[in-house]
Structure 1
């Protein structure tokens, strides 16, 4: 933890404190989790507050562990302020995409920093697409861009098949938030690395084509 930027530490601490409160206080958890019906009825704060709640310790740990690995890449490139902006925009983008795809499901609910963390992950991949990532179930290191594209394609599959109790839509929305915001901060990537910018856009384009033709609702 000593090697982490103070901003990363602060975000992890806030997530831990809010999540621990939610573990012990069901009323608090239910009031601030993301729920379509409640958001549509005026409780817009849930779009943000849900991103600091988690279902359990393992859910919290996985999100914070992922953030730990990729936060410094984004901070090194853009600085702490831009990092925070990407984190918050990705969190909101995850909630908004969930609203878009589940607007007819008033009881649809979700919690977790996954959207924000996936936004940081996708931003880091866009900034350093050739860094190597190794997963427990894939011991051979992969280029980050291969992992990023594969992860979003898996998220599309998860959205289409309603796979598991996982917020695939929020993950995808967060990735879009991280991708777009990073390009706004460093538009020169469109010139210096157009191939990678294009490759990482492919899953996003596929998602909205599938939505347009009614394959994902």
Structure 2
């Protein structure tokens, strides 16, 4: 079967875990407790180090998880086949943890603590960055507006917009986490390239 119609194991399992956790928080009586203990609660008594990992598997609402999982599926499949499952999972986790660290440092610098962080967006932005670096001339069809754009330009424009929105403090979105995921993804890709473990 053509790879386009297949979903490799890490992407598939990440999506399954995220969906199951979302259903648990939305439907089970202990949903609020799951959020309380597993969301990244920076600057609060509920903070635990493990939350730098668990926060990536929680989502605020259906739109939040749908768009994150759609992007994970769209870009993650190609990247997992190219990087290999183990390296892909390492990349995903590093971007997600790194995104939270960047958001924490910027919140600390701007006096925006306490801060509650949930979602796979930081890790997914790392995947978007990797796709743009490894396939710069691949064409991405935007949804709104519906126009085609080369991946490299889409990544650059998206990163600039996120930086601007984060600097202005626009919306209830962790913009610096998005930028952080891209930054860590860029650094990790180039470290692997210098070691000769990947080529692009």
Task: Choose from 56, 63, 66 the match for 2:68.
Answer: 63
- Match of 1:187, SS state, is helix
Query: TM-score if structure 1 supplies the norm length?
Result: 0.81
Residue 93 (1) aligns with residue 103 (2): no
Task: Choose from 147, 166, 169 the match for 2:173.
Answer: 166
Q: Once the two structures are superposed, what CA deviation does each residue of 1:17-72 show, in whole Å capped at 9, x if it has no partner? A: 12222224111112111121148x86111111111000011110100000111012
- Match of 1:86, SS state, is helix
Q: Report which stretch shifted further, 122-131 or 132-141.
A: 132-141
Aligned residue number for residue 185 of structure 2? 178
Structure 2 unaligned runs (5+)? none
The separation in 2 between residues aligned to 1:80 and 1:180, in whole angstroms, is: 19
Question: 1:90·1:116 contact (CA, 8 Å) conserved in 2?
Answer: yes
Aligned residue number for residue 15 of structure 1? 18
Task: Choose from 38, 47, 50 the match for 1:32.
Answer: 38
Task: Choose from 113, 118, 121 the match for 2:120.
Answer: 113
Residue 156 (1) aligns with residue 163 (2): yes
Query: TM-score if structure 2 supplies the norm length?
Result: 0.88
Q: Could you say if the C-alpha distance between residues 156 and 6 of structure 1 is closer, same or farther in structure 2, counting changes exceeding 3 Å?
A: same
Task: Choose from 7, 11, 30 the match for 1:4.
Answer: 7
Question: 2:8·2:81 contact (CA, 8 Å) conserved in 1?
Answer: no
Instruction: Say what the alpha-carbon RMSD is for the aligned residues.
Output: 2.0
Question: 2:39·2:51 contact (CA, 8 Å) conserved in 1?
Answer: yes
Q: Which ranges of 4 or more aligned residues in structure 1 deviate by more than 3 Å?
A: none
1:128, distance to aligned residue in structure 2 (A): 0.7
